[in-house]
Chain A
Amino acid sequence: MLRRISTYRLRLLQDPVLALGLVLLALFVWLIALPIVMILQDAFTSQPGDGAKTRAADGAMTSYYITRALASRMSGIIFFAPLWNTLVVAVSAAGMALMIGAGLAWMLVRSDLPMRGWFSVALLIPYMLPVWTFALAWVTLFKNTTQGGQPGWMQALGAETPDWLAYGMVPTIIILTLHYIPFAILIIGGALRRVDGQLEEAAQMLGARRWAILWRVTVPVMRPAVLSAGLLMFADAIGEFSVPYILGLPVQFETLSVSLFRAISTQQNGMAAVYATVVLLIGVITLGIDTWMLREVHRFATIGGKGTTSRTSPLRGARWLLFGAVALLFVVSVILPLATLILSTLMEIPGRFSPDNFTLDYWIGRSLPTVAMTSGILLAPEFWHAAWNSLRIAGMAALAAGCLGLLVGYVVARSPWRWLAVSLRGVTFLPYLVPGIAFAAAILMLFAVPRGPVPALYGTPWILLLALVADQMPFSSRVGISAMAQLGSDIEDAARMMGAGMLHRMRAIILPILNGALATAVLLSFISGIKGVSLFILLAVPSTDVLTTFSLRLVDYGYAQAANAVVLVISMLALLGSFAIHRLAGPVFAQGWGR
């Protein structure tokens, strides 16, 4: 009996799928689980140089950081205010986006709104753009004298904007709401499309009126999708960094992610670990609730029905009024910010609309009268350096994440050991629970110093690359797993019967069949790599700047036009990529991943 088990086990170890699975597991434990564990640990260990405050040796256990955050004289300022700000911003933005998005989704899917086909693509554009595009446009428009430098347009036109409108919480909430509305439309609209029209017709046959059908049938059936969309937006908003960073400084408005950034940049690693732990906890709890609710959704299996024809409801008298409202939203969320940014890069002095004020200097000028950035952005070597970094890092990370995702899918589908499949799926999903900036902090703490055979990576492009690969794994592994699940095992067994080894099967059978899914995954990862900022802001140094961090650096130094120009380039790349995916695979954004 013993011998039987041992020979069986021995042969299993020679199985290439298992070998591959174990290698992948080791890789992701190192790249994903280890940093997260370390940052949790750092919140409770005395950091180098903090001995006087923690009264503990370096590396010893201490509750100093937690106490300082939660129960010290400073708690209100350094912890509870940012926590309150974070929660208010996340709840308000998610809630408003949900309400507006639900209404829009219903109008786009179920009503006779004019041009709804066009709107259902056009209204998604804000989600394809980096969110701080809007923050920069907002600053360009509303900046007042509280902050020095060039004036905002409103001010230049003679209207002094109040601080509460120019900076801080209000604009942050408005901008995040505008950014999330497309996401709400996608999720709720998608669910609405899949609701079996026969459910509603059945209610109609029983004599229910239109509003009764909407309230008693459609809304309850939709509830899981709506709540899920809300929670996902909330979790994303918790970790949002760039918008409160740009808009918060002049009025000392901080959210947890900004506090985390400030703690890291002032060498307070212990406090940074506390912020990261809190952000992480909120993320885990939120997504835990979401997962738990999704399990409940199985009660609503009818949602996945045949998706039969559903009739459209006439909007009657309100039709053109609502059309106007939707068109206005499009103008406010797409045209206005982009036009503002474009114009801002073309004007010598902000907000002065006279013909002699227009210039291309900020794009292609030479010998500008500024301290740095003396040439237009397209002639600045720093720009091309950052652009090359962006393309190279995002491109390589996207390729690596796509291929690794496919391999994870392969092992999950084929592993004879269930625990291997389960733990691979779990560990690759972890980064989704962790907001980008907290994950970046964790990666930074792991790779800032040499550990074992791995040299210190801070200051090299490698740390950005590794962070991006890890950050994209939740998405790419899901693509890989679902693609492999659809592929089934027969198609591979057929080749195995003929003696094709695993590598040959990968090359000749699996990759050619899945190349569409792979290309989509790679392209989506590439876009989020190009436009992502919260993951990189902690990890990039001037020599490894990517476009996003370069642009934020320009904001910090007050080169608003140059910063806006860089953001416009990023937006253009993101839009081009999104439309490429749209052509390649249909509206994949509908899955709500690429963040």
Chain B
Amino acid sequence: MPEIVIDKLSKSFANAHAVRDVSLTVKAGSFTCILGPSGCGKTTLLRMIAGLEEASAGQIRIGGRLVDDPVQGTFVPPEQRGVGLVFQSYALWPHMTVVQNVEFGLRLQRLDASARRARTRAMLDTLRITELADRYPAHLSGGQQQRVALARTLALAPQVLLLDEPLSNLDASLRLAMRAELARLHREFGTTIVFVTHDQWEAMTLATDIAVLAEGEVQQTGSASTIYDRPTTRFVAEFIGSPPINILPAGSPAAMSLIPQGVPERDQITVGLRPEAVRISDRSAPGSLSATVTAVLPTGGSWIVETAVQADGIGVVCTTLSRPIFVPMQPVFLEPQNDGMHLFGPNGRRLSDFPSNLMETS
């Protein structure tokens, strides 16, 4: 169960920086997610950990061992890193059966036939694909293919398991099943798992630790709840959460009315409101915003109420678990709850926890 330490890692291709100055520590035995929008450099980062790409600058250490450092000229090839990678496309070899796919790495390790067969059988059993042993990948469903890819990688007992978008190619019910499966494998094998995804649901439900990456830089690290409850940048606040956080632009009447008098540079502050932290009421209360309902949308277990703030027409989306009593065009009052309200300065950084605290610091 090694720890992975990434220090000031950069990767540039011909004319673009894919990863810029990333520092990150993946705790031993953790289930860490690198989360970010597509094109943010997360797959490049994963491939550098795997050893499929070489860093342009910076260091990677796996379990204390330096595996990549262009300054010292150190580069440990992928097969000597004790790392396994499951590709997003699964990359099963189409001309080999399931058994042959799983055996491939063991053959390379020159394991004798009986040990190889035993190990292969054990892996197929663990991933519950024993009955698929002699099929070709083309005849497997997406979920089955992923199990084979996992078995193929786990057969070599890697100390670190890397997964590229592990759930993205699966349909909704399969994702739940696979999620449980990955959690079970994590418990059983105790390996350090790092996976990348652009899907916040995948990240929040699977990972013990999340690192949010944008434009090649780490924005925030922490547990799922930390990142949701205390986003350190406006980007993280907007990227995580569905429906996304409501943004009241700096200087708008709605934003100004929520920031207490006396806070310095009030008109420079952007306000973010989590949809579930806005209570809708038909009665006015201190600090509430008057708005008009524009739409009421059922989403199954909950409802989305879309409103427009009367002062400046800014849209504010609210979610509620109980059936709303409001109808479109109805005037209402929005009461933001403090724990779902986030303030960001002009540089996009989080200011502090609550407006009341801001008052004290000023």
Contacts and interface: CB of A to CB of B under 8 A. Distances in A.
A4 B70 contact: yes
A494 B91 contact: yes
Nearest to B50: A497
A498 B70 contact: no
A491 B89 CA distance: 9
Question: Secondary structure at chain B's binding surface: helix, strand, loop or mixed?
Answer: loop
Contacts of A122: none
Interface string A491-503: 1011111111000
Given A8-B70, A497-B51, A500-B104, 11 more contacts: A11-B75, A490-B91, A491-B92, A497-B50, A497-B83, A499-B78, A499-B79, A499-B109, A500-B108, A504-B108, A508-B104
B52 A513 contact: no
A491 B14 contact: no
Interface of B: 14, 50-52, 54, 57, 70-71, 73, 75, 77-80, 83-85, 87-89, 91-95, 104-105, 108-109, 152-153, 156
Contacts of A513: 93-95
Contact of B108 (A7, A499, A512): A499
A488 B89 contact: yes
Given A4-B70, A498-B156, A513-B93, A490 B87 contact: yes
Contact of B54 (A8, A488, A500, A512): A8
Interface in A190-208: none
Contact of B14 (A418, A493, A497, A512): A418
A496 B108 CA distance: 11
A11 B88 CA distance: 28
A329 to B, nearest CB: 42
17 contacts: A3-B73, A4-B73, A7-B70, A11-B54, A488-B89, A488-B91, A491-B93, A493-B52, A493-B85, A494-B85, A494-B87, A496-B79, A497-B52, A497-B153, A498-B79, A498-B156, A508-B104
Of B14, B51, B52, B57, the most chain A CB neighbours within 10 A belong to B52
Nearest to B73: A7
Interface string A1-17: 00110011001000000
Interface in A504-539: 504, 508-509, 512-513
Contacts of B152: 494
A414 to B, nearest CB: 12
A493 B89 CA distance: 12
A493 B70 contact: no
A504 B14 CA distance: 29
Contacts of A500: 104, 108
Contacts of A490: 87-89, 91
A498 B14 contact: no
A496 B73 CA distance: 21
Contacts of B14: 418
B194 to A, nearest CB: 14
B78 A509 contact: no
Nearest to B106: A498
B70 A512 contact: no
A498 B52 contact: no
A505 to B, nearest CB: 10
A497 B84 contact: yes
A21 to B, nearest CB: 17
Contacts of A496: 52, 78-79
Interface of A: 3-4, 7-8, 11, 418, 488, 490-491, 493-500, 504, 508-509, 512-513
Contacts of B87: 490, 493-494
B73 to A, nearest CB: 4
Closest 6 A-B residue pairs measured CB to CB?
A: A499-B79, A7-B73, A490-B91, A498-B105, A494-B91, A490-B87
A499 B52 CA distance: 12
A81 to B, nearest CB: 52
Given A7-B70, A8-B54, A491-B91, A497 B85 contact: yes
Contacts of A8: 54, 70
Contacts of A495: 93, 104
Contacts of B71: 3-4
Contacts of B50: 497
A497 B79 contact: yes
Contacts of A509: 93
Contacts of A504: 108
A497 B78 contact: yes
Nearest to A498: B105
Of B57, B75, B79, the most chain A CB neighbours within 10 A belong to B79
Of B70, B77, B109, B156, the most chain A CB neighbours within 10 A belong to B70
Contacts of A3: 71, 73
Nearest to A509: B93
Of A11, A508, A513, the most chain B CB neighbours within 10 A belong to A508
Nearest to B87: A490
A498 B104 contact: yes
Contacts of B70: 4, 7-8
A583 B289 CA distance: 73
A11 B92 CA distance: 29
A499 to B, nearest CB: 3
A496 B77 CA distance: 9
A517 to B, nearest CB: 13
B108 A498 contact: yes
A114 B289 CA distance: 75
Contacts of A7: 70, 73
Contacts of B93: 491, 494-495, 509, 513
Nearest to B72: A7
A499 B14 CA distance: 27
A337 B164 CA distance: 61
Contacts of A498: 79, 104-105, 108, 156
Contacts of B104: 495, 498, 500, 508
A496 B81 CA distance: 12
A488 B88 CA distance: 12
Contacts of B77: 499
A495 B152 CA distance: 10
B69 to A, nearest CB: 10
Of A491, A494, A509, A512, the most chain B CB neighbours within 10 A belong to A494
Nearest to A1: B71
A488 B85 CA distance: 16
A11 B84 CA distance: 23
Contacts of B88: 490
B31 to A, nearest CB: 20
Nearest to B105: A498
Contacts of A491: 91-93
A227 to B, nearest CB: 34
Contacts of B51: 497
A481 B44 CA distance: 24
Of A490, A504, A509, the most chain B CB neighbours within 10 A belong to A490
A95 B148 CA distance: 56
A507 to B, nearest CB: 12
Nearest to A500: B108
A7 B71 CA distance: 8
A115 to B, nearest CB: 36
Nearest to A418: B14
Nearest to B164: A490
A540 to B, nearest CB: 41
Contacts of B79: 496-499
A294 to B, nearest CB: 25
A9 to B, nearest CB: 11
A557 to B, nearest CB: 52
Contacts of B80: 499
A488 B57 CA distance: 27
A515 to B, nearest CB: 9
Of B50, B75, B87, B92, the most chain A CB neighbours within 10 A belong to B87
B68 to A, nearest CB: 11
Nearest to B100: A508
Contacts of B89: 488, 490
Of B14, B78, B84, B93, the most chain A CB neighbours within 10 A belong to B93
Given A497-B85, A499-B108, A512 B95 contact: yes
B244 to A, nearest CB: 32
